Structure 1
């Protein structure tokens, strides 16, 4: 059975993050009962300011934004009460990310949630990557929980490419934090949000599935991406590579907008060391099927961002 979007209560965690910002626009016109969990009161206020007018115009009948510490199991129990479906996004490089995942799964099970969709990561079996390895345990706990689940595995996000900055520069420059010639696959946050919204609405046909969600094919290097961007924006982009040792000695959290703590630093260092020689590669077939269209390629993604900049002006 599909979701009852008029009556079901949908909980989204990390509702003010990058992923949610591309999921909520697909949910708001349809779902009438939303509970959005954020980490702080500041995030709660920001979310209310950003989406409040949209909620009112779409006449969402019941929406709640809660600031909550998901590392506390009693908080997870509280926010899962009365919930029909959970979309769980864990915090990036968080020292208690695995515990948070367990807490949400256990709370959802206690309250009889009908569907738990977990946004994981491509290849969680890669133990060298701390941010992948912790999700491996969450996936295992979810699979063994008995809950109807769907696991989503996106790759590196295209949206981290600084296209807005490049468009504002007369002589655009990009700095690669690791080897720019190692090939990877990338996921568009817009594609991920649309696919996730489809899964949440279609529900039962996606029970007990694990999906690789990759947008770009074939795998390509950061240098390839810069060459495509240069062609699309009509300006040569200078690609600089930061010496790897200097990258490791830098502000790891600051480089990626993460907290500057020991755990985040270790996690980012290991990630960049892995990307330095191996990259992260997946397949686009499943995302194409879920979307019912071709996933985004780099040319389309950049052109879309250019359009957003023009409209913003």
Structure 2
């Protein structure tokens, strides 16, 4: 059973959307939390936001850094940087550090890996690389849980749409293609339950899908239109513009390396034709409530934005 007073919990990529949604839940239960980030700017921001946590700046590509941040850790939440050209190596390097910590009689009891829905999709390079990390974790001898979130609702920039008189969402792919969505709210809560219940979820793999039925971005914008009280249109961007803008933003505003751009290009082409479809049953069971619908999420975002502006 978890020792909420003394267990040390490590959360990687702590500035990212998924980890940011997890941290408030973990703060309610565990007293000792270590947050990993890559940049000094992120480290400073995390220290200000979570003053009662330990913030560590570390490169997950570095074996010595991975060993340093996993030291004395009881359980960890592993998220890897998105679209990283060496994501598989980052994952296996971190898992090696976990194995070494446990083999040296360390306290590690649980690794929770936030992967992606359908990592078997080889055409999606950003999914396929996670397949190898999952395999390495499963064969590592470590106690693990794998979470597989689908396409995030947070991809729709509601704050930006609220500011427009005649709002239009510029989609990176065909707006009529269907997706199953999840919100980081549900991902964070599900991750916290797994970390807090630990033994109940060892060796499990869970799809994380919030929406009961797949939605296109056209349909998503119709839902948001009702919430905002004004029509929100969905319009597709040009392919090159979509790839360049999105991948540059993921890369912190800097020009991305060629390999990173290729990963994004393959994903956009796939999403344009096939979307990403999953099932919400498992998430509902895990949360012990109905997952958040797209309309509920939109309403919560509008309320959150309104409260922040007061």
Interval containing the TM-score (normalised by the shorter chain): over 0.9
What is the Cα-based RMSD across aligned positions, in Å? 1.3
Q: Which segment drifts farther, 195-204 or 37-46?
A: 37-46
Q: Distance in 2 between matches of 1:238 and 1:83?
A: 47
> Pairwise mapping of residues 111-130 of structure 1 onto structure 2 (< 5 A)?
111-112=101-102, 113-130=108-125
Q: How much does 1:256 deviate?
A: 4.9
Match of 1:193 in 2: 188
Q: Distance in 2 between matches of 1:294 and 1:142?
A: 30
Is structure 2 residue 245 aligned with structure 1 residue 251? yes
Contact 1:253 / 1:261 at 8 angstroms: preserved in 2?
no
Is structure 2 residue 238 aligned with structure 1 residue 239? no
Contact 1:252 / 1:265 at 8 angstroms: preserved in 2?
no
TM-score (ref. length: structure 2): 0.94
Is structure 2 residue 88 aligned with structure 1 residue 93? no
Is structure 2 residue 292 aligned with structure 1 residue 296? yes
Match of 1:60 in 2: none
| 1:246/1:79 CA distance change after superposition, 3 Å | closer
Q: How much does 1:242 deviate?
A: 1.7
SS at match of 1:27: helix
Is structure 2 residue 197 aligned with structure 1 residue 202? yes
SS at match of 2:29: coil
Match of 1:145 in 2: 140
User: Structure 2: which 5+ residue stretches go unaligned?
Assistant: 103-107
Q: Distance in 2 between matches of 1:176 and 1:275?
A: 11
C-alpha distance after superposition, 1:23-82 (max 9, x if no partner): 111011221111111101111001112222xx3xxxxxxx31110111011111111111
Count of residues in Structure 1 that have an aligned counterpart in Structure 2: 302
TM-score (ref. length: structure 1): 0.93
Match of 1:156 in 2: 151
SS at match of 2:49: helix
Q: Distance in 2 between matches of 1:170 and 1:285?
A: 38
Match of 1:270 in 2: 266
User: Structure 1: which 5+ residue stretches go unaligned?
Assistant: 56-62
Q: How much does 1:257 deviate?
A: 5.8
